[in-house]
Amino acid sequence: MLWILILVLVAVGGGAVVRVASGARKKELGPGGPAPASPLALPAVGDNLIERGVRDLRVQDVVTTDGRDFVVEGMLGYDEDGHRWTAARIVDASDIKWLVVGLERTGGGSVRLLTQDEATPISGYPPEALVIGETRYAQTKRGTASCTLTGELGNLGELKKGRPDGHVERCRWWLYNAPGDDTLIVEQWGDDFRVLAGRKVGEGTLEMMPGS
């Protein structure tokens, strides 16, 4: 009889152990069953983690060319039927240039580093060719774009006077090229024309440091 009593006690104790272990397991899993594995946390993506270049310039960025640092003071963002390009007004003391990027719809691995030409007035529809000094420029493209104006834009700033950044204006443009890297752009804003002349430069010759 003693051994029968021992067997009964062992069986009862074993069942209690199983019930305790099962209860602990249920607490771990929770009422809804097994908890799903936590997904790996992805790093947040912010401006500081995205590498930008001259095709993504913003006001206060710094562009280095020919060993000189130019601050981006203003930006023009052009849109012509979905094709977009930019022109940045970059300034080093009294030296002011325009960095035009992406004007061509195809190809165009270069950008244009231009200076406003005050000595070449345009008062009517631009001709098929322009001769400035000893350089003859031939017209290669033209169009009309909507343009957003941001920051300090020199004489174009009158167009956004009293209006917020991102104000939109219409701009007609004519692109001219000459043998070699010489290039020229004529723009019409309202009744006013402006001439930007300079050269094509390789994108790899420019360095950009993001602004604060």
pLDDT mean over 10-35? 46
Scanning the structure block, which residue is given the tokens 């007609």?
Answer: 172
Confidence at residue 109, expressed as pLDDT on a 0 to 100 scale: 65
Structure tokens at 202: 């390789």
Confidence tier at 56 by pLDDT (50, 70, 90): very high
Distance CA 198, CA 184 (A): 6
Q: Which residue has the tokens 């940045």?
A: 88
**Mode of pairing for the β-strands spanning 110-116 and 129-132:** unpaired
* pLDDT at 172 (0 to 100): 98
* Average pLDDT, integer, range 113-128: 94
Check whether 42 has a pLDDT greater than 60: no
- Position 110 scores a pLDDT of 79
pLDDT for the residue numbered 26: 44
Residue 6 is predicted with a pLDDT of 44
Average pLDDT over residues 162-177: 95
Specify the pLDDT at position 21: 42
For residue 180, CA distances in Å to 120, 199, 201 come to 21, 9, 11
* The predicted structure's pLDDT at residue 192: 94
Q: 24 or 143: whose pLDDT is higher?
A: 143
The DSSP line for 120-139 is S---SSPPSEEEETTEEEEE
Structure tokens that stand for 107 in this block: 């190809």
Please state, rounded to an integer, the average pLDDT across all residues of the chain. Answer: 82
DSSP code of residue 58: -
**What is the rounded average pLDDT of the residues 174-191?**
96
Does the pLDDT value for residue 186 go beyond 50?
yes
Question: Taking the domains of the chain in order of start, what are their residue ranges?
Answer: 1-31, 55-209
Question: Amino acid identity of 159?
Answer: L
Predicted confidence band of residue 167 (pLDDT cuts 50, 70, 90): very high
Beta pairing, strands 192-202 & 129-132: unpaired
CA 175 – CA 16 distance, rounded (Å): 89
- Percent of the chain whose predicted confidence (pLDDT) is above 90: 64
Q: What's residue 185's pLDDT?
A: 98
Q: Is the pLDDT of residue 10 over 50?
A: no
Name the phi and psi angles at 18, rounded to 5. -60, -45
Provide the pLDDT confidence category of residue 107 given band limits of 50, 70 and 90: low
